[in-house]
Amino acid sequence: MPPTASIHGQWTTRLAFILAATGSAVGLGNIWRFPYIAGENGGGAFVLVYLGCILLIGLPVMIAEIMLGRRGRQSPINTMTSLSREEGVSTGWASIGWIGVVTGFLILSFYSVVAGWALSYIFKSGAGGFVGLDASGSEAMFDGMLASPEALLAWHTIFMVMVGIVVARGVQSGLEKAVTILMPLLFVMLLVMVGYAVVQGNFAEGLAFMLAPDFSELSANAVLLAMGQAFFTLSLGMGAIMIYGSYLQSDASIPRTAGVVVGADTLVAIVAGLAIFPIVLGAGLSPGEGPGLIFVTLPLAFGEMPGGLIFGTVFFILLSFAAWTSAISIAEPAVAWLVETVGMTRVAATTVLAIAAWTLGIAALLSLNVWSDYTLFDMGVLDFLDYLTANILLPLGGFLIAVFAGWRMTRGSVSAELAMRSPALFGLWYFLVRFVAPVAILLVFLRAVELI
Ligand code: PHE
């Protein structure tokens, strides 16, 4: 008999799981990463491929990942070990958990650095730093921040401590509540930004940039980036969603819950794009600006709009919160494993992971200034970590999850855990997870390394 609860605890309601999983999904990936990567890759066609990846790969893999977690009820490493035993297949499938722990550690290190930028912008805004800013002034402000290792280190440290405190206390008590209030607020703030973009920015051009596809612009590498972004933004492929699934009640409907989370995450990304591109194009900035995109464009808008000082400050507070609720889920699989298997206390486990990720984060932040001449595959440490995790490790994890759920578990165990009422919908999901998702991931990989 599979266990019915995790030793780490359980969400109080299905809604709590939805909020926590949405809190994990909605983060820097939606508001910082999505607009800048879409901008660098020509907009419309990229967005379309991204949406295709969300629907055909992301949603089915999310259902599979939650399903594995709830059936195993342990950290991803131990969940995969016990599910493999239960199904009578090689325990080598625990590598899904191992890859996930390593990936999570790598993501956490640079994620914390970028979240530190958001924290820093709360205070820049609050001090009136956006008032009267023009495009070049805004670029100078962002570049000035990146040029200061001390400032970056301070914010990176503060963010990592914030993450450590919540993870050490267990996810349910603090986060469940915070997420309920903050996520809707963040969405409202984004709508305010869209409202501003409609009135002040170049909304028609921004809309066209984001939605009118021009496939001639789309390289094989851009397709890989779109797929990587789909995994990153949905928190898939590294066990974050798996462990959240392990805290989910046995009677909650997994497909419906996954649908809500994917829908909410996608909506936030699209709304973020609609808020940002009109401002970019209206101010004569380039959508291909890179990682600084939102940090350069949004301050321009806040600097001009009535009440911008308050809106700007609140916006960056909410962005920091979104990053916070995501970072917690990135840490959780490794922490749970250290507790389960190494026998550490939760506090000790969190401390070990946070210090390790913090240390690697220092290399990432130095790559923006004093180490800017050192590159790996033409990328600085931060860009390299981002590229490696989002575009390679997460899709790899997702591929293995799909293959395990689709081919290594029996149809009986899978359908028992999902308990879907509609055989047609189950059949559709099963087809996507067995054929479409793994084949698509493989093809995109092969195409990106120019093997096909
Ligand atoms: N989904 C988060 C975001 O969009 C990032 C994340 C990636 C979280 C992987 C967990 C696991 O910001």
Task: Flag whether the pTM goes above 0.75.
Answer: yes
Q: Are 94 and 68 in contact (CB under 8 A)?
A: no
Which one-letter amino acid corresponds to residue 92? Answer: G
For ligand 1, is residue 232 a contact (CB within 6 Å)?
A: yes
CA dist 434 and 230 (Å) reads 19
For ligand 1, is residue 240 a contact (CB within 6 Å)?
A: yes
What is residue 2's predicted lDDT score, i.e. its pLDDT?
Answer: 59
For ligand 1, is residue 227 a contact (CB within 6 Å)?
A: no
User: Of 418, 372, 329, which is closest to residue 108 (Cα–Cα)?
Assistant: 329
Q: Are 326 and 113 in contact (CB under 8 A)?
A: no
For the chain, the C-alpha Rg in angstroms (whole number) is: 21
User: Of 14, 41, 62, 12, which is closest to residue 266 (Cα–Cα)?
Assistant: 62
φ/ψ (deg, to 5) at 379: -120, 150
* Both tokens assigned to 423: 């055989």
Distance (Å) of CA 388 to CA 34, 354, 404, 441 = 16, 20, 23, 15
For ligand 1, is residue 233 a contact (CB within 6 Å)?
A: yes
CA dist 120 and 128 (Å) reads 13
Q: Which atom of ligand 1 is nearest to the CA of 28?
A: 12
Q: Which atom of ligand 1 is nearest to the CA of 30?
A: 4
Q: Residues 108-119, buried b or exposed e (16+ Cβ, 10 A)?
A: bbbbbbbbbbbb
What is residue 187's predicted lDDT score, i.e. its pLDDT?
Answer: 87
Q: pLDDT by residue (tens digit) across 115-128?
A: 999 999 999 999 99
Cβ burial of 233 (10 Å; 0-12, 13-18, 19+) is buried
For the four alpha carbons of 53, 55, 58 and 61, in that order, the dihedral sign comes to: negative
Measure 232 CA to ligand 1 centroid, in angstroms. Answer: 5
Indicate the length of the chain as a whole number: 452
For ligand 1, is residue 74 a contact (CB within 6 Å)?
A: no
Angle at 422 between CA 416 and CA 424, to 5 degrees: 105
CA dist 166 and 328 (Å) reads 7
User: Of 286, 277, 263, 298, which is closest to residue 211 (Cα–Cα)?
Assistant: 277
For ligand 1, is residue 30 a contact (CB within 6 Å)?
A: yes
For ligand 1, is residue 27 a contact (CB within 6 Å)?
A: yes
Q: Which atom of ligand 1 is nearest to the CA of 32?
A: 12
* Both tokens assigned to 35: 């607009």
Measure 312 CA to ligand 1 centroid, in angstroms. Answer: 23
Q: Which amino acid residue places its CA nearest to atom 7 of ligand 1?
A: 235
Cβ burial of 4 (10 Å; 0-12, 13-18, 19+) is exposed
Q: Which amino acid residue places its CA nearest to atom 11 of ligand 1?
A: 235
Distance (Å) of CA 39 to CA 29, 58, 133, 273 = 14, 21, 22, 9
User: Of 76, 420, 1, 419, which is closest to residue 244 (Cα–Cα)?
Assistant: 76
C-beta neighbour count of 126 within 10 angstroms: 16
Q: Which amino acid residue places its CA nearest to atom 10 of ligand 1?
A: 235
Measure 31 CA to ligand 1 centroid, in angstroms. Answer: 11
Q: Which residue has the tokens 């990304």?
A: 269
Measure 392 CA to ligand 1 centroid, in angstroms. Answer: 15
For ligand 1, is residue 24 a contact (CB within 6 Å)?
A: yes
Angle at 382 between CA 26 and CA 245, to 5 degrees: 35
Q: Are 190 and 147 in contact (CB under 8 A)?
A: no
User: Of 255, 251, 253, 272, which is closest to residue 50 (Cα–Cα)?
Assistant: 272
Measure 304 CA to ligand 1 centroid, in angstroms. Answer: 31
Measure 204 CA to ligand 1 centroid, in angstroms. Answer: 30
For ligand 1, is residue 325 a contact (CB within 6 Å)?
A: no
For ligand 1, is residue 367 a contact (CB within 6 Å)?
A: no
Helix axes 203-211, 44-53, angle to 10 degrees: 50
CA dist 402 and 434 (Å) reads 6
For ligand 1, is residue 247 a contact (CB within 6 Å)?
A: no
For ligand 1, is residue 25 a contact (CB within 6 Å)?
A: yes
For ligand 1, is residue 266 a contact (CB within 6 Å)?
A: no
DSSP-based three-state secondary structure for 344: coil
C-beta neighbour count of 254 within 10 angstroms: 23
What is residue 255's predicted lDDT score, i.e. its pLDDT?
Answer: 96
Distance (Å) of CA 326 to CA 92, 184, 248 = 28, 15, 18
What is residue 174's predicted lDDT score, i.e. its pLDDT?
Answer: 66
DSSP-based three-state secondary structure for 9: strand
For ligand 1, is residue 129 a contact (CB within 6 Å)?
A: no
Rounded to an integer, what is the distance from CA 306 to the centroid of its chain? 32
Measure 240 CA to ligand 1 centroid, in angstroms. Answer: 8
Rounded to an integer, what is the distance from CA 272 to the centroid of its chain? 14
Percent of the chain with pLDDT over 70: 98
For ligand 1, is residue 235 a contact (CB within 6 Å)?
A: yes
Rounded to an integer, what is the distance from CA 433 to the centroid of its chain? 21
DSSP-based three-state secondary structure for 250: coil
**Which residues of the chain register pLDDT less than 50?**
none
φ/ψ (deg, to 5) at 285: -90, 170
DSSP letter at 341? I
Measure 110 CA to ligand 1 centroid, in angstroms. Answer: 12
For the four alpha carbons of 274, 280, 284 and 285, in that order, the dihedral sign comes to: negative
Q: Which amino acid residue places its CA nearest to atom 8 of ligand 1?
A: 235
